[in-house]
Amino acid sequence: MKIFPQEADHIVELIRRDVPFYQTALSTDFVSGMNTFARNVDILDVDVPYEHVVAEQFARWWTH
């Protein structure tokens, strides 16, 4: 049983359209910017270290 039968085709098309923009790697610059944003909107008091954000043990499989 499909929960959203009419929307399924639209969701597939959105994913197909956006696949080229998906990234498996998060740069240190991205994490720094994420921390800055989170602090600016008051959801963080301190920066979260890069190694706490990404699973660095899987870095060899990241694509750039």
Instruction: Compute CA distances 32 → 10, 17, 27, whole Å.
Output: 34, 28, 9
Task: Check pLDDT > 70 for residue 25.
Answer: yes
Statement: the pTM of the whole predicted model exceeds 0.75? no
Average pLDDT over residues 8-34: 88
| Amino acid 11: pLDDT | 87
Q: Which two tokens stand for residue 37?
A: 């944003």
Q: Rounded distance, CA 28 to CA 57, Å?
A: 15
